[in-house]
Amino acid sequence: MKLRNAVVVDGVRTAFSKGGRGKLEAARLDDLGAYLIRALLERNPKVKPNMVTDLGIGGNLARGVGHLAGLPAELVDFSSERACATSQETAMRISMAIMLGQYDCGISVGAERMGTYQQRLDNPRGAGATRREGPNPKSRQLTKEQRDMTENHFDYFSVPIPDYILDSPTGASMTQTGQNVCEMYDLTREEIDAFSMRSQHKLAKAYDAGIYKDEVLPVEVEDPVFDENGNWVPDEIGPMVVLDRDEGVRPNTTMEVLATLPPVRGIVSYKPGPLLITAGNSCPRNAGVTAQLLMSEEMALKLGVDFLARIIGWGNGGVKQQIMGMGPVVSTPKALKHAGLEMDQIDRIEFNEAFACQVVTSMRELGMPEEKVNVNGGSIGIGHPICATGNRLWMTVCKELKRSNKRYGLATQCCGDGEGMTVIFENPDAPK
């Protein structure tokens, strides 16, 4: 069987709001998902609703989203999950079905509302939790083989994992894994704060230049009412407001301001050494919705539909949970091999900034020049609503390839329990 080309036609999203205390707190995510689907079809009028065969949902919004968007009742849909790469997994699953010839057109949606629910997940032994919830304590009892570095560790990494990290508890919080990465690579606070500052400045500059106008759709939502403790009050109706800019953009970020931020609570140093992870060099918790229109290249050409990029390679990889953020160091070489490319051929990279430390160290390990990475800012300012980010990475890098007339793009991110996922794209209109 000859595989077909799958292409990214278009992608749109809401601005990402603060998780638990932002402008999207009172909004229904299924309404926002339906709004984005309708917008995709309105922007691409040659694609009719009855041409969409499958709707993938990264996050648990279920079948109603397609119906709200006006898609046919015969539509099939599915939900998927791969931690932080959930909507990237959803988009890839649709793309694979297109490549195999199962159908020609699908839509990938990602939706997330982080906040009190996420806090409960992060603190499963808190109020209201039972012994059925949270990490299974048995999963933390590792065999020697599970504990030790893999035989091929140095095929991917230039430094060993220190024993104090290998012997540290598994099931670590995401922030703890960031601290572990800092210590594994002897990073300084200044290095990761400087990266975070540059990310914020690039994002603010991109917004000022109008680069995100094609990606971020303004949405009219109810301005949520919060009580004195910062909790949303559902019974109080706020005025309608327009959200058209990510709430985490900080154009005035300076090294001096970042230096005043304390380490996040709950992390420890196993080295021991200084605690380096702060709110300023980490992504925030967010709410947001993303949507992408995916199609076979054959159908796009037949309909005369312009598309952004072809999907030409992908890879997944696993690492120790204690260094979760380093997953892209394993997944990216696999994706490059699948695409038949070398890193120096990649023109634009969208790397999810869960933590500045894991992007800084991964760039070193993978030979990624920073001038190609997150050229319009990244998740430290944009935000990282977990189930929505994967779609965002795809659309951002594909639109940037078109804007800059570059040929090859790469989207990558780490995933919650020690994974990485990487996908590679080709702009068909770029100079060969």
Asked if the bond preceding 272 is cis, omega within 30° of 0, the reply is yes
Q: What is the tens place of the pLDDT at every residue in 315-343?
A: 999 999 999 999 999 999 999 999 999 99
Of 209, 162, 202, nearest in space to 182 by CA: 162
CATH classification at residue 364:
3.40.47.10
Instruction: Please give the Cα distance from 55 to 235 (Å, whole number).
Output: 33
Residue 131 in any domain: the answer is no
276 assigned to some structural domain = no
Q: What is the pLDDT of residues 217-274, one digit of tens each?
A: 999 999 999 999 988 999 999 999 999 999 999 999 999 999 999 999 999 999 999 9
- Considering the candidates 384, 387, 398, 415, report the single residue annotated as catalytic: 384
The conformational region for residue 409 under phi > 0 = left, psi -120 to 50 = alpha, else beta, is beta
Say which amino acid occupies 263.
P
pLDDT class for 131, splitting at 50, 70, 90?
low
User: Count of domains in the chain?
Assistant: 1
Q: Catalytic: 398?
A: no
**pLDDT band for position 135 (50/70/90)?**
low
Residue 224 counted as domain residue? yes
Q: What's the pTM value of the predicted model, to 2 decimals?
A: 0.94
Distance CA 335, CA 412 (A): 10
- CA 306, distance to chain mean position in Å, is 25
Provide the domain limits for residue 105.
Answer: 6-116+192-251+284-426
What the block records as the tokens of 102 is: 């199962």
Q: Which residues contact 67 (CB under 8 A, 6 or more apart)?
A: 73
Q: How far apart are alpha carbons 172 and 185 in whole angstroms?
A: 18
Tell me the average pLDDT across 403-415: 98
pLDDT above 50 (res 32): yes
Helix axes 389-404, 86-99, angle to 10 degrees: 70
Active site residue 414: yes
Region of 367 on the Ramachandran plot (φ > 0 left; ψ -120 to 50 alpha; else beta): left
* pLDDT of res. 128: 53
Q: Which candidate in 182, 283, 398, 414 is catalytic?
A: 414
How much is the pLDDT for 133? 60
List pLDDT tens digits, range 370-397. Answer: 999 999 999 999 999 999 999 999 999 9
Lowest mean pLDDT among 107-116, 171-180, 203-212: 107-116
In this prediction, residues 414-422 reach a mean pLDDT of: 94
Does some domain include residue 264?
no
Residue 71 confidence (pLDDT) above 60: yes
Cα 365 from Cα 334, distance rounded (Å): 14
Examine the pLDDT at 358 and tell me if it is beyond 70: yes
- Tell me how far apart the alpha carbons of residues 214 and 230 are, in angstroms, rounded to a whole number: 33
Task: Kindly state whether residue 356 falls inside one of the protein's structural domains.
Answer: yes
Cα 210 to the center of its chain, rounded Å: 22
Task: Give the DSSP per-residue string, 41-56.
Answer: HHHSTTS-GGG--EEE
Active site residue 384: yes
Q: pLDDT tens digits for 36-47?
A: 999 999 999 999
Upper half-sphere CA count for residue 220 (Cβ side, 13 Å): 2
Q: Which DSSP symbol is given to 349? A: E
From CA 353, how far away is CA 283, in angstroms rounded?
A: 6
In a domain, 173, yes or no: no
Would 274 be classed as within a structural domain? no
Residue 121's pLDDT is 46
Token code pair at residue 283: 């992504």
Looking at the predicted structure, is the pLDDT value of residue 124 above 50? no
| Integer Cα distance of 379 and 83 in angstroms | 16
DSSP state of 288: E
- State the pLDDT confidence band at 141, using cuts at 50, 70 and 90: confident
**Residue-level pLDDT at 130:** 62
Identify whether 52 is part of a domain: yes
Average pLDDT value for residue range 303-311: 98
CA dist list (Å): 357 to 10, 163, 280, 281:
31, 20, 12, 8
| Mean pLDDT across the chain | 94
Which contacts qualify for 62-69: CB closer than 8 Å, 24 or more apart?
64/30, 65/30, 65/33, 65/34, 65/37, 65/109, 66/34, 66/37, 68/30, 68/31, 68/33, 68/34, 69/33, 69/34, 69/35, 69/37, 69/38, 69/41
Residue 398 clears pLDDT 70, i.e. is over it: yes
Q: How far apart are CA 69 and CA 39, in angstroms?
A: 9
